[in-house]
């Protein structure tokens, strides 16, 4: 969307972008920021994908008639949309807005063109909801009915958690919702935190009607205070819980008590799993212990697992050397028995089969008995 198209769109929506001169001057910037503020978007004066989509949607939902025209002065094919000011703002007459992108063609079979239009107007809408919107729009030629169908869908609250109030009203429009979440994501990414682990925090912020700007201010202030005290916090965890936390883990823990509890519990459990390994003579790093904790092992099952490993590994090492299969260590045993690596499990089966074939007559031990011994503990 060119600056001129942005200016025309803003003017049609009741904002004052100044002269329609295709120049991003201070009045146009002011109008963009006012629009972004009204829609709950990140107020930065930049017309990126989210703001563009919000402008397109705002124009489409105030459209009363539409006609196609020929080439604009600059040779660009345009679509002219006549938009009215629904709020009746004094001094702003109905305005003709020219957008320099062509409108999609009329609907064809299966509502395909309506889906294309929906994806263009509402690019942030999840596919399942976009399909519902397009189908209802195609059938009824009514965007209000299409939006109502989207909001009535059973999957809406899973895709936009926190947006629906207990009384059935909505905290923000869908464009505002996804713009807000996008802003939350960028705020956390700027301090090297993975936004995916903060989803419950996002939902609480939305339910508390925390704006993108307020969220950014909260995170920035917390981050600044944490940085000052990082050495002391790291020392506290090391002394009290005998565990070392990364800077990112400490920051995440302070920002979200829920994450803090998860991080601390996982670290304590990892230390316990490492202790179980040490009792059986294995030197297990904290990261590997964390992987086992994430796979579902606890203090009890890890003790069983390492006991089984202590019994099985000497034999597996011997088989591997005897049949020129390299070596066999705890890491390989773990990948097969805990994480189900098919190549490792195939190697274990092969080693026991080779051993059984060579010594079955002397020892009277079946392959099934041997395999049963090595699988003496369920770890998942």
* Domains of the chain in sequence order: 3-99 (1.10.101.10), 234-288 (no CATH), 299-374 (no CATH)
SS3 365: coil
- Looking at per-residue confidence, does 225 or 181 come out higher? 181
DSSP string of 221-267, one letter each residue: HHHHHHHHHHHHHHHHHHHHHS----HHHHHHHHH-HHHHHHHHHHH
Sheet holding 95-99, edge to edge: 63-71, 77-83, 95-99
Looking at residue 236, its pLDDT comes to 66
Stretch 323-329: mean pLDDT, rounded? 88
Which residue has better confidence, 377 or 201? Answer: 201
In 3D space, the residue among 288, 277, 274, 283 whose CA is nearest the CA of residue 242 turns out to be 274
Q: The pTM is what?
A: 0.46
pLDDT in tens, 255-305: 776 665 666 566 657 767 877 888 888 888 767 887 888 888 887 888 899
User: Under DSSP, is residue 130 helix (H, G, I), strand (E, B) or coil?
Assistant: helix
Cα–Cα distance, 290 to 273 (Å, whole number): 8
**pLDDT computed for residue 377 by the predictor:** 41
* 35 vs 113, higher pLDDT: 35
Q: Tell me phi and psi for residue 210, to 5 degrees.
A: -80, 125
CB 18 within 8 A of CB 6: no
Q: Which residues pair with 65 in a beta bridge?
A: 82
């Amino acid at each position: 969307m060119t600056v001129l198209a942005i200016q025309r769109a803003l003017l049609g929506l009741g904002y004052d972008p100044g002269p329609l001169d295709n120049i991003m001057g201070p009045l146009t910037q002011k109008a963009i920021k006012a629009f972004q503020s009204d829609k709950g978007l990140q107020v930065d004066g930049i017309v990126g994908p989210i703001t563009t989509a919000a402008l397109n949607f705002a124009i489409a939902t105030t459209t009363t008639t539409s006609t196609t025209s020929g080439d604009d002065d600059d040779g660009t094919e345009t679509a002219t949309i006549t938009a009215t000011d629904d709020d009746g703002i004094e001094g702003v007459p109905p305005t003709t807005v020219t957008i320099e992108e062509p409108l999609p063609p009329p609907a064809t079979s299966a509502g395909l063109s309506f889906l294309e239009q929906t994806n263009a107007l509402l690019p942030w809408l999840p596919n399942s909801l976009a399909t519902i919107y397009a189908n209802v729009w195609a059938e009824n030629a009514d965007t209000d009915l299409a939006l109502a169908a989207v909001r009535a869908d059973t999957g809406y609250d899973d895709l936009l958690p926190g947006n629906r109030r207990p009384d059935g009203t909505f905290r923000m429009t869908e464009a505002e919702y996804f713009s807000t979440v996008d802003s939350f994501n960028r705020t956390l990414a700027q301090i090297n935190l993975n936004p995916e682990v903060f989803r419950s925090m996002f939902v609480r912020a939305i339910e508390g009607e925390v704006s993108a700007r307020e969220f950014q201010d909260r995170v920035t202030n917390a981050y600044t205070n944490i940085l000052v005290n990082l050495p002391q916090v790291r020392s506290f965890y090391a002394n009290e819980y005998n565990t070392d936390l990364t800077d990112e883990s400490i920051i995440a823990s302070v920002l979200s008590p829920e994450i803090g509890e998860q991080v601390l519990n996982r670290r304590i459990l990892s230390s316990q799993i490492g202790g179980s390994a040490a009792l059986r003579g294995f030197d297990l790093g904290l990261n590997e212990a964390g992987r086992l904790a994430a796979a579902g092992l606890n203090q009890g099952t890890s003790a069983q697992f390492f006991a089984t490993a202590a019994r099985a590994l000497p034999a597996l090492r011997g088989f591997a050397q005897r049949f020129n299969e390299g070596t066999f260590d705890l890491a390989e045993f773990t990948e097969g028995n805990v994480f189900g690596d098919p190549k490792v499990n195939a190697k274990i089966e092969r080693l026991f089969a080779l051993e059984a074939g060579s010594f079955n007559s002397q020892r009277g031990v079946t392959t099934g008995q041997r395999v049963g011994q090595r699988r003496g503990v369920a770890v998942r």
